[in-house]
Structure 1
Amino acid sequence: MSMRLPLRNKEFATLLSVYPPTLQAELAEKDRFYSELRFVLRRTPVADKVIILGDFNARVGRDAVSWRGVLDRHGTGNCNENGRLLLEFCTELQLVITNTIFQQKEKLKTTWRHPRSRHWHLIDYILVRQRDRRDVLHTRVTPSAECHTDHRLVRCKIRLHFKHKPRKRNVQA
């Protein structure tokens, strides 16, 4: 699902809500999902602020050195196959995973509890373009939010920065 919101001075924010295939899905299905998402992002105007929200069913881990610019140093857990696909996608399209930018307690990062192991994992993410990273003030989980799901609600505070348009000056001869 996508929504393009007008902001000001003919500027826009494009919000995308996504739900990629699970870890058990065939690789072809996962590739098809990322191809479609890539197509949507490439059709999105370059000037738009892009915010992608979703249950990516992926664990990206904490290797901020290998995934510089995409993953910051406050990730959690280990990377899985879906995580690698997401990291490669973010690298290609210059996106940053905002959940890994901020240092916080583990319970404010993890979003889903495995039904058998009862361990908490980070699989729900908010992505923005790398150039808009400074717009993100904070991304965290709201552990007390009652959503009738096995996932915790993820919220992101954003303050949008815009390019200043040059003022026309009156030139007097």
Structure 2
Amino acid sequence: MSGQSAKSVLGYNPISDRIISIRLQAKPVNISIIQVYAPTSSVDEKIINYFYQELHETITVIKPQRSNLEKNHAMGRFGLGHLNERGEKLVDYCIENDLVLTNKLFQQHPRQLYNWVSPDAKYRNQIDYILIRHRWRSSVKVAKTYPGADCGSDHQLLTAEIRCKLKIVKRDVLPRRYDVKQIHDQYRAEVRNSFKKCRAPWISDKVVALADVRRQIKPNGLHNERDRSQYKHLRRSIQRVTRQDKRTFLERKCREIESHFVNNHSRDFFKALKEITGKRAVKLNVVKDGDGAILTESHQIKDRWKEYCQRLYDSKDADQVTKAIEPNILRSEVEFAIKKIKNRKTPGHDDIPAELLKETGDEGITLMHNVT
């Protein structure tokens, strides 16, 4: 997802190795997206039925809906080729769950309809689909494939343009801390790098050059064995070189971290450690109900917390808890606590750093003691 879309994420749920769902906050209603990798036609029928059962449970948990959809409304009029047995099963599933195949809604050139080409380049099939509720069918502006897109797969890139308005989920913003000693160098570096293409720090120019060569092959179409073989060879080479570059980068960073640790440079140690461990995980405002289903709506989350607290305090053990009376806090204790606070630490909700508390002197200690 793009950085802007990621701000609207309410939660996600990896159901299985074939199904994953994500919930986005939007207007006028929230949006659920389900990514599915369906079994091929060569798989046993029991696996197919289990897959559709699991998918049906996923959709039902999100929002069950009654369907009065007809077959021609679910399919559209602009498909490619003829339906086989698996295609008929997919259409029946769409009718049952009030879904529409967006690929078949718009009249396109056949090149923008097929999304898979057989190894001998004799057959072009439409086997990947984007489904949407029939209620929101008019929100889909266009759905088509991009045969020339370099996506590192023998399938063609399938996209859909949908009208929707996402809302940013309000989360606690961590204060940004600057290294005053390096601010001038950082500013010049950011200005210089703002004109460069953003990429991972371990990706070398060799990988970029190989990706450019691979990108030039895909638009011409992989129509012969030579082009397909060259494309696969470049894809494997990019993966191999990228792994080598990342391994070299991590080894260099580990040596740097070890050097900071040995020399007791704690600030540089944690800064370098954060570079390889990643950014702080985004806190998702989701909870699970009693059956384990993920709740993303605010009113559902509030009801779940209400139910949890009622069960917690209605238990028999709650009557046995006794509240101990603690003595008042002494002024000397407040003074000792303020002096023991470490400098250069992230402030709390009041955004008051430790350095300011220490600079208040006796008056500040007295004021803090009166507050307690």
TM class by shorter chain equals: 0.7 to 0.9
SS where residue 70 of structure 1 aligns? Answer: helix
SS where residue 81 of structure 2 aligns? Answer: strand
Q: Which has the larger radius of gyration?
A: 2
Map of 1:50 onto structure 2: none
Map of 2:24 onto structure 1: 5
| Unmatched tracts of structure 1, length 5 or more | 48-65, 162-173
Map of 1:45 onto structure 2: 63
Give the TM-score normalised by the residue count of structure 1: 0.77
Map of 1:129 onto structure 2: 133
Greater displacement, 70-79 / 38-47: 38-47
Q: In structure 2, what residue type is equivalent to 1:133?
A: R
| Unmatched tracts of structure 2, length 5 or more | 1-19, 166-372
SS where residue 82 of structure 2 aligns? Answer: strand
* Partner residue of 1:26 out of 28, 35, 44: 44
The 5 A counterparts of 1:145-164 are 145-160=149-164
Map of 2:369 onto structure 1: none
SS where residue 137 of structure 1 aligns? Answer: strand
Q: Distance in 2 between matches of 1:20 and 1:147?
A: 19
- 1:92 aligned to 2:132? no
Residue 127 to residue 43, structure 1, CA distance change in 2 (3 Å): same
Spell out, residue by residue over 1:6-56, the C-alpha distance to the aligned partner (whole angstroms, 9 max, x if none): 1136x2100010011100011111010000000010111359xxxxxxxxx
Shift of 1:76: 0.9
Q: Flag as ranges the 4+ runs of structure 1 deviating above 3 A.
A: none
Shift of 1:117: 5.2
Shift of 1:116: 3.5
Map of 1:69 onto structure 2: 73
Map of 2:143 onto structure 1: 139
Q: Distance in 1 between matches of 2:41 and 2:86?
A: 6
Identity of aligned residues (%): 32
Q: Distance in 1 between matches of 2:121 and 2:160?
A: 28
Q: Distance in 2 between matches of 1:46 and 1:28?
A: 24
Map of 1:115 onto structure 2: 119
Map of 1:165 onto structure 2: none
Contact in 1 for aligned 2:27/2:164 (Cα 8 Å): no
Q: Distance in 1 between matches of 2:46 and 2:73?
A: 27
Map of 1:16 onto structure 2: 34
Aligned pair count reads 142
Structure ranking higher on relative contact order (CA contacts 8 Å, 6+ apart): 1
Shift of 1:144: 1.2
